[in-house]
């Protein structure tokens, strides 16, 4: 097995299973290293309702967002990690500029999940409708395999139905009887 050092240089990383995926955890600080793509998989398996939310932090790197240089290093190529602030949250994520993966401090994954859950509950039904339309256009034009896009779209519709249920009980009856959701 490959031996890797913690990006904080305070210990070794050890493989463990987290949210059904394989990650590397530091025995000293309990920070976790996720190879590229693994963070999104862990987030998806934590809460199905959050699948549709954008979580490709590597997009931020591609778009050349303002980033700070971290004192931590990538366990794979040992280059300095970049600190990204995820969306409008206060969460800072260390990511390898060469796309090897991301490092989360202890409890940071939980913070991301509660931030996303809060986003779902605080979004109005109007915004959900916009997201549903955006998802639909992704189904037609998106780069992801169609099956996965359709699943995201159904998730948005389901959340939209739940949201409407709270606001207008008779509309939610119509939504819940759409053939796509049965
Ligand atoms: Zn560590
Ligand atoms: Zn790297």
Position 151 scores a pLDDT of 64
Bridge partner residues of 33 (DSSP): 24, 103
Q: H or E segment at 112? A: helix 108-122
Rounded to the nearest integer, the mean pLDDT of the chain is: 72
Position 143 scores a pLDDT of 57
Of the chain, the end-to-end C-alpha distance in Å amounts to 46
**CA proximity to 159, closest of 52, 56, 43, 42:** 52
Q: What is the pTM of this model?
A: 0.65
Distance 80 CA to ligand 2 centre (A): 8
Position 145 scores a pLDDT of 56
Bridge partner residues of 5 (DSSP): 12
Position 92 scores a pLDDT of 79
Distance 21 CA to ligand 2 centre (A): 20
Distance 148 CA to ligand 1 centre (A): 35
**99 SS3 class:** coil
d(CA 6, CA 73): 8
Position 114 scores a pLDDT of 78
Q: Which residues of the chain have pLDDT under 70?
A: 1-2, 47-67, 86-89, 120, 123-126, 128-182
Q: What is the pLDDT of residues 15-34, one digit of tens each?
A: 998 877 888 999 999 999 98
**Contact partners, residue 11, CB within 8 Å, separation at least 6:** 5, 26, 27, 28, 29
């Amino acid at each position: 097995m490959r031996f890797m050092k913690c990006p904080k240089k305070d210990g070794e990383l050890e493989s463990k299973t987290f949210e059904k995926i394989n990650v590397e955890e530091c025995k000293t600080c309990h920070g976790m290293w996720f190879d590229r793509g693994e963070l999104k998989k862990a987030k998806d398996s934590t809460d199905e309702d959050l699948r549709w939310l954008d979580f490709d932090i590597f997009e931020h790197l591609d778009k050349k967002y303002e980033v700070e240089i971290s004192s931590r290093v990538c366990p794979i190529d040992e280059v300095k990690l970049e600190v990204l602030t995820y969306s409008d949250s206060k969460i800072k994520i260390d990511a390898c500029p060469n796309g090897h993966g991301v490092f989360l401090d202890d409890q940071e994954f939980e913070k991301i999940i509660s931030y996303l859950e809060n986003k779902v509950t605080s979004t109005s039904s109007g915004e959900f409708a916009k997201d549903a339309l955006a998802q639909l256009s992704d189904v037609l034009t998106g780069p992801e395999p169609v099956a996965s896009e359709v699943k995201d779209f159904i998730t948005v519709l389901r959340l939209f139905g739940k949201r409407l249920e709270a606001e207008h009980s008779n509309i939610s009856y119509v939504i819940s009887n759409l053939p796509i959701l049965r």
